[in-house]
Chains A and B, each alone.
Chain A
Amino acid sequence: MKKMILFLACVFTLVANVSADNYQPITRDQLPQKAQTFLTTYFADAKISLARKEIDVMELSYDVIFTNGCKVEFDRKGNWTEVDCVSTALPIGIVPSAIESTIKAHYPDAKAIKIERDHREYDVKLNNRVELTFNKKMQLVDID
């Protein structure tokens, strides 16, 4: 009976853990080293408004919001997964050069304002409301 109570307690703890608050505020120092380097490289002048850690059942991710409205998301290792600058252009160097040149060729006047990546593809949003999808080899596969 005692063992059973202990077991039930464990189950409840597990359940309680799963349901813990999804977002925890963090400071810049608590970001993975790689993410911190990324921030100093591309957003040296920007001021952080809010940095958070998102805990899900299976994964851990970070996001940083700057006082100019830009947002950067990192995965658990500190690799960026999304950079979104609402309406201003992304800092030069974030968008891979192959994609950059493709954009230049198709839309000479447009600027990339948002980029997302996962293990399969890149998604780039331009300020002329066009969304481009690239595969892992930086080839254009979809225009929306």
Chain B
Amino acid sequence: MKLTTHAIRSLIAPLALIFTIWATVFYFILSDELIDEVDDQLEVYSEQIIRQWLAGETLPDSTDGSNNTYYIRPLSSTELSMGKRVEYEFKNVYIDSRREEEPARVMHTIFEHNDGSHWKLTVMTPVYERNEVISTILIATLILLVLMLVAIIATFAWAFFKHMQPLYRVLDHLDNYAIGKRQPLNNDTNVTEFQRLNASVEDCIDRVERAYERERRFIGDAAHELQTPLAICQNRIEMMMEDDALTEQQMIELGKMQQTMAELIRLNKTLLFLSKIENNQFIESTEVDVNAKLHRQIEMLAEVYEAKGIYVNLYEKGQWTLNANEELITSLISNLMRNAYLHNCPEGSIDIYIKEGALCVANTGDNQPLDKEKLFDRFYKAHHGKKHSNGLGLSIVKAICEASHLNITYSFEGDKHLFSVFC
């Protein structure tokens, strides 16, 4: 779930609760104020009547057009002891002018006359609109509540999304980062946290780059430095073999030693080659006729691996001419082909397809797919103990593809291992 979604979710519940409480309180206060207003009017009205009545002045007409009505009546002592002195109530009252019952607010006030007798004044005013007003207040409050909630959430979501942009830019930057191919991080922000994040990411990438660079240089240097001692060693063995005093047994052992030495030198050369490719030391590029290169390699390797009895099928569907380094393309084809020969089964077959922009090599072999993740790693061997394989062939293929801006994929289709190179 997205951060924005999370934040909004955790915002909705408390906000809804707070607003609901707020709206409830607001609604009750407002509807109470409505009654208060009526009560205040009744109070003023009743006070006026009582004082005029007590002062012996003429009382206002009981139906003076204001819909307010009143009556005064004497109280018996039992009624006096029972009733409250001041009392309010809602009651349906028959209104003469309307000739029907209407809801009204009624106020009773008990007061004392100079002669000691008690009287009760009842004043009332109709409240036709009260229910309508209250329901209007309720609906308005609810609508405003929902609108407010939506507005706040929307504003929050917008603000949140806007301010989180640097985070998403950093994430994109990290997603797009490939080792050895550093892009500048364009993420201007004045937010301290994001500035820190930017700095940390840059620092982290710096360290990765340095480590990668060191490792690359080490392999190259090591392979380079090994060349001379290995060559000297090989020469010494050759010189030793020219000594006539050696027995036949010693000669055989020396021969084996020389073979191992040759393998070691080849391995070292391959490592050096790989390191050179990764360091982009093959810069010059020409128009390479891939078809022609392929034909030559097929001829050459057919002789080398004649003994294996493997059948090669070439399907030429088009002409592929590529602008790249000639040496690298030759090596690419050669390594792909060698791989197909080496990991084939006896009496197996190799199918080669070529068309403009794509070359596929499919070979029979072990009847199970290879590990796609590790396939192109250095010294990866699916099955240990296979001879004539140094485990660097496919690494070279991969490195050449990357240096020449080509793509390579592996798939296991039917019973064949299929390597596809395309641009």
Q: Identify the A interface with B (CB < 8 A).
A: 4, 7-8, 11-12, 15, 18-19, 21-25, 47-50, 52, 65-71, 86-87
Contact B21 A86 (CB under 8 A): no
Report the minimum CB–CB distance from A67 to chain B (whole Å).
Answer: 4
Known: A11-B24, A67-B54. A50 touches B85 (CB 8 A): yes
- Looking across the interface, which residue of chain A has its beta carbon closest to that of B54? A69
Question: Whole-angstrom distance from the CB of A103 to the nearest CB of chain B?
Answer: 22
* Complex contact B55–A65 (CB within 8 A): no
**B126 CB to closest chain A CB, in angstroms?**
20
Q: In the complex, what residues of A have CB within 8 A of residue B56's CB?
A: 69
Distance A66 CA – B17 CA, assembled complex (angstroms): 52
Given A25-B85, A65-B47, A86-B57, residue A48 in contact with residue B28 (CB < 8 A): no
Q: CB within 8 Å of A: which residues of B?
A: 17, 21, 24-25, 28-29, 32, 35-36, 39-40, 43, 47, 50-52, 54-57, 84-86, 88, 109-114
Residue of A nearest to B87 (CB): A21
> Is A21 touching B32 in the complex (CB atoms < 8 A)?
no
Interface residues of chain B: helix, strand, loop or mixed (majority): helix
Contact status A48-B112, CB under 8 Å: yes
CB distance from A28 to the nearest CB of B (A): 12
Query: Is B114's CB under 8 angstroms from A68's CB?
Result: yes
In angstroms, how far is the closest chain A Cβ from the Cβ of B296?
Answer: 82
Contact A71 B112 (CB under 8 A): no
Q: Assess the A23–B29 pair: CB atoms within 8 A.
A: no
Q: Which 5 pairs of residues, A with B, have the shortest CB-CB distance?
A: A25-B85, A69-B55, A19-B32, A67-B114, A50-B111
Contact A18–B29 (Cβ < 8 Å): yes
Q: Is the CB of B36 within 8 A of A65?
A: no
Of the candidates B54, B112, B114, the one having the most CB atoms from chain A within 10 angstroms of its own CB is B54
Residues of A within 8 A of B32 (CB): 15, 18-19
Q: Measured between alpha carbons, how far is A66 from B114 in the docked complex, in Å?
A: 8
* A52/B86 contact (C-beta < 8 A), A11-B25, A65-B50, A67-B54 known: yes
Q: How far is the CA of A87 from the CA of B84 in the complex (A)?
A: 30
Contact partner of B54 among A21, A49, A52, CB < 8 A? A49
List, in ascending order, chain B residues with CB within 8 A of A48's CB: 112
Q: How long is the Cα–Cα vector from A32 to B25 in the complex, in angstroms?
A: 34
Number of A-B residue pairs with CB-CB distance less than 8 Å in the complex they form: 76
Provide 15 A-B residue pairs closer than 8 Å at the C-beta atoms, listed in order of the A residue.
A8-B21, A47-B112, A47-B114, A49-B111, A49-B114, A50-B110, A65-B47, A65-B51, A69-B56, A70-B51, A86-B51, A86-B52, A86-B55, A87-B55, A87-B57
Q: A49-B113, A86-B57 are in contact. Are A15 and B25 (CB under 8 A)?
A: yes
- For the A-B complex with A25-B86, A49-B50 known, give 9 more contacts whose Cβ atoms are closer than 8 Å: A12-B28, A19-B28, A22-B40, A49-B111, A50-B50, A50-B85, A68-B114, A69-B55, A86-B55
- A23 contacts which of B17, B86, B113, B114 (Cβ < 8 Å)? B86
- On chain A, the residues within 8 Å of B21 by CB distance are 7-8, 11
Report B-chain residues with C-beta under 8 Å of the C-beta of A15.
Answer: 25, 28-29, 32
Residues of B within 8 A of A4 (CB): 17
A88–B54 Cα distance when bound, in Å, is 13
B107 → chain A closest CB, angstroms: 9
Chain A residues with Cβ below 8 Å from B111 are: 49-50, 65
Shortest beta-carbon distance from B122 to chain A in Å? 14
Determine how close the nearest CB of chain B comes to the CB of A61; give it in whole angstroms: 12
The interface centre, meaning the residue of A47, A50, A68 with most chain B CB atoms within 10 A of its CB, is A50
Q: How far is the CA of A49 from the CA of B85 in the complex (A)?
A: 11
Verify B47–A71 contact, CB threshold 8 A.
yes
B85 / chain A contacts, CB cutoff of 8 Å:
25, 50, 52
**Distance A83 CA – B258 CA, assembled complex (angstroms):** 132
